Amino acid sequence: MRGPLDGVRVLEAGTLIAGPFCGQLLGDFGAEVIKIEDPVRGDPMRQWRTDDRGRSLWWPVIARNKRSVTCNLRDADGQALVRELVARSDVLVENFRPGTLERWGLGFDELQRINPRLVLVRVTGYGQSGPYAHRAGFGSVGEAMGGLRYVTGEPDRPPSRAGISIGDSLAGTFAALGAVMALFARQTTGRGQVVDSAIYEAVLAMMECLLPEWEVGGIRRERTGAVLPGIAPSNVYPSAEGADVLIAANRDTVFERLCEAMGRPELATDPRFADHGARGEHAAELDAIVAGWSAGLPTDDLLRRLHDGGVPAGVAYTAEDVLADEHVAARDAVVRLVHRQLGEFPVQNVVPKLSDTPGRVSRLGPELGEDNDEVFGRLLGIDAEELGRLRSRGVV
């Protein structure tokens, strides 16, 4: 079965997370993604999150569904190879600092002369314009500037992080969305365009009503740990075994159902908890009551009562919990492929699910330069002698 992006060829010249995550998403839905890597070092992600033998456990995930070719973009012959690939491609994804492609003679104007239909996706910390454009920008800094870090963590501690590289992944997600929209627009205009995805802007886009809260309401959102101010009960509560169980019952009707499940129906009419505003004002009292009840029940019994009562609840899962969950299994949210060195290898499946043209994970991340012969030979028509010369010079 073909994915919705079948027939789209994507060149991925980025490294680390933001650009490659965009390529991962496009590849998940059927695009042919050709990853261009440095001939000597490759993408640094090949050395991230390694096992005890130094083998990356992240690379097979973020480089899935991709082909790997090596090409020295700083060399004139390497740049010539990229131009040939651009002539045969639909999308180029990069996450270098603004101006880098231009220094290599690979700016958008030059690429459009080669292929007017090319979509150039550019992922950076601050975007392609503005006074900060040329600053070095990592996901963590984008999370800070976008407002996420300030509101994450406990109120009596410095700003925290989400535990994952969320800024990079958000920028990559918006970049992939932009690529698909640009391809859609190309059907009408016949021309490609630049997709400019800035990490800090991708984070800022997720920040709900943070800005009008301040400018219009005079409220500065602060760190509140596991709770949202004025929203109760909605917190993590302990079970008898000490499991962290999230219970979200802040809506009036859902709170009534929680009270029934707790055997405390009178709480629903208690003036302290009778409506949304009152519960918000007395959140600490209410959390203590719910925690006192939940701590007296084994996890399975607690969850059964909540689910049977129609109260949203769930355990804060570890990776082990995810892999053991029957619902995860039933929806194929995790798929297993065979890695040539690591054996059976679980990865997150493609999101979202499409009914007619679903995406799929067809292969794990490739070895460095694994597809040189196929791409340079079959696609570009470079013969073995010329390819050998390029290898000897370190171009590929």
Q: Tell me, what's the pLDDT at 229?
A: 87
With contact defined as beta carbons under 8 Å apart, do 143 and 166 qualify?
yes
Domains and CATH numbers, the chain: 9-206+331-392 (3.40.50.10540), 234-315 (3.30.1540.10)
* pLDDT tens column, 3-27: 999 999 999 999 999 999 999 999 9
Structure confidence by residue, pLDDT tens digits, 339-380: 999 999 999 999 999 999 999 999 999 999 999 999 999 999
Q: pTM, whole model, 2 decimals? A: 0.94
Tens of pLDDT, residues 146-186: 999 999 999 999 999 999 999 999 999 999 999 999 999 99
Mind giving me the DSSP string for 202-264? HHHTTSTTHHHHHHTT-------TTS-TT--SEEEEE-TT--EEEEE--SHHHHHHHHHHHT-
Tell me if residue 168 is catalytic. yes
Q: Which residues pair with 124 in a beta bridge?
A: 198
- For residue range 221-255, list pLDDT tens digits in order: 999 998 988 999 999 999 999 999 999 999 999 99
Cα Rg of the chain (Å, integer): 25
For 344, the enclosing helix (H) or strand (E) is: strand 343-348
Widest CA span of the chain, in angstroms? 84
Residue 333, token pair as written in the block: 């949210």
Q: In a 3-state reduction of DSSP, which class is residue 82?
A: helix
**pLDDT tens for residues 69-111?**
999 999 999 999 999 999 999 999 999 999 999 999 999 999 9
As a whole number, the mean pLDDT across the chain is 97
- In this predicted structure, the answer to whether residue 1 has a pLDDT above a threshold of 80 is no
Tens digits of residue pLDDT in 271-328:
999 999 999 999 999 999 999 999 999 999 999 999 999 999 999 999 999 999 999 9
In the structure, what pLDDT confidence band is assigned to residue 2 with cuts at 50, 70 and 90?
confident
pLDDT at 293: 98
Q: Is the confidence at residue 259, as pLDDT, over 90?
A: yes
**Which of the residues 28, 43, 90, 168 is marked catalytic?**
168
Q: Is the pLDDT of residue 48 over 90?
A: yes
